Structures are given as structure tokens and as C-alpha cells.
Amino acid sequence: MILCRYLYDCGLPLLATRMAIRSNSGTTIDEMWRYMGPIFRSMGKVHYARLSVLSQHITAHLKDPLRSVWDQYRTLSLRGNNGRNVGWDFGCERFNLECQEFLSKSITKERLLKAIPILNGLRHVRNQTLNAFGVRNDECSEYTGVLSSDIDVLVHAIREELGLTGVDDAAALISPRLRGRLFRQPDGEACDRRYPWNITREFRGENMTKYVISQLRSMPESVRARWT
């Protein structure tokens, strides 16, 4: 039952989001932003909860020419392969890392301006160059670079942290001992007896409508006017 509930509330929506990002489906991405807002709040993801509101507001108020461009380039293709897109944040973070590795400790504006065209050019010949030197590793996905061994290490660490042994793990996950560590009341004192998927409906007495209004009111007037 726990696994079914997880798949229904979290697992399948997460899969839908990842597939939408890969296929550049802006409609599904927008729907997932709406769906995840209450979940972000219930799990204490303050910044993501706020972002879910602001992203929906900005997207809904984009002028038609900007909306057309946004829809066409909602996600980023690293090497032009269909169905392998990533989010723009991933591309920016990855390129920042590449620039840092390329320039080492001597990072200046002038050196960055020279390095960026070089790194962009290398992207077009990367696989051919790796093949030429016989060092191409197809086990590494261009999407994340995560290996199965990396996942095994992470799963082992999670099981160790939660004290899971493989024997009736579902019962262990909802036991008072574990819930007392992971799900606290807002005051930080008593164990929260509610399940995570119920917290979204009872979050600190503030309903989602009031939360959305409060977040929109907190936006600077200049930002609101810019997109309308």
C-alpha cells in the first residue's frame, strides 16, 4: 500500500516530469509545477514552493511572441539528440563547471570570454574525438553521467541512514522510531503522526489560495509589470 501510494503521489508524477523535460513538453512541465506546489510546501522546500507559484504566474502572463519562443525552447538539448533534453538549470550548472575546470583557479571575465567559444566548439567534436583516441565510454549517459554503481552507493547510504535491512522495510519506514526522526510537527517537538501526503491538505492552517496570493504580493512591482 505504501509503495502504491508513493507511485501515485510522487513516483509517477516524477517520471512524467522527467519524460516531459526530455521531450520538451512545456504543457506537462507547467502541469507538474501546479501539482508540486503543495508537495514542496508540505516537505519544507520553501524556495521550490515559491518558485512553483512565480513560474506559473510568469508563464501565464508572457506576451505571445515570448511564449512562442519559451514553448519551443523550454528545455535544452546538449547534443541535438531527440528525447534527451535537460533543464536549463542543468545546462547552466554543467557549463559553469566546465568553465571552472578549464580555467582552473585563474578565472577572469577576459579569460571566460575566450574560453566559452572554445568549449562550445568542443561540444561539436566531442564524441568523434573520444572515438579517435579510443576513450569513449558509452556506459556514461550524456543526460547525467550517472552510473549504476553510483546508484548502488546512494541506495546503500540511504538504507544505512534509515536502518533498513530488507526485512519488512515498509513497516520500518512508518514506524514511530523513524517517523519521530523524519516527520516533526512545526514546533519541532512532537512526532508528527500524519503521513506526508496528508500534510499537503493541512499545512499549518494556511490553504493554497492564501499562500499563492501572499507569494504574488511579495513580488516586486517592477517584475510583475515586466511580464504583463
pLDDT score recorded for residue 173: 67
pLDDT score recorded for residue 60: 86
List 191's β-bridge partners, or say none.
184
How far is 206 from 123, CA to CA, in rounded Å?
48
Tell me the one-letter amino acid at 67: R
pLDDT score recorded for residue 228: 45
pLDDT score recorded for residue 136: 65
Neighbours of 80 (CB within 10 A): 8
**Long-range contacts for 63-70 (Cβ within 8 Å, ≥24 apart)?**
63/227, 70/26
How far is 80 from 58, CA to CA, in rounded Å?
28
How far is 198 from 139, CA to CA, in rounded Å?
40
Q: Give the pTM.
A: 0.61
Which residues, 6+ apart, have CB-to-CB distance to 191 below 8 Å?
Answer: 176, 179, 180, 183, 184, 185
Select from 75, 24, 32, 78 the least CA-distant residue to 51: 32
Consecutive 10-residue runs of the chain (228 residues): their mean pLDDT?
68 88 92 87 84 88 90 86 86 88 87 88 76 66 67 81 75 63 53 52 62 80 58
pLDDT score recorded for residue 9: 77
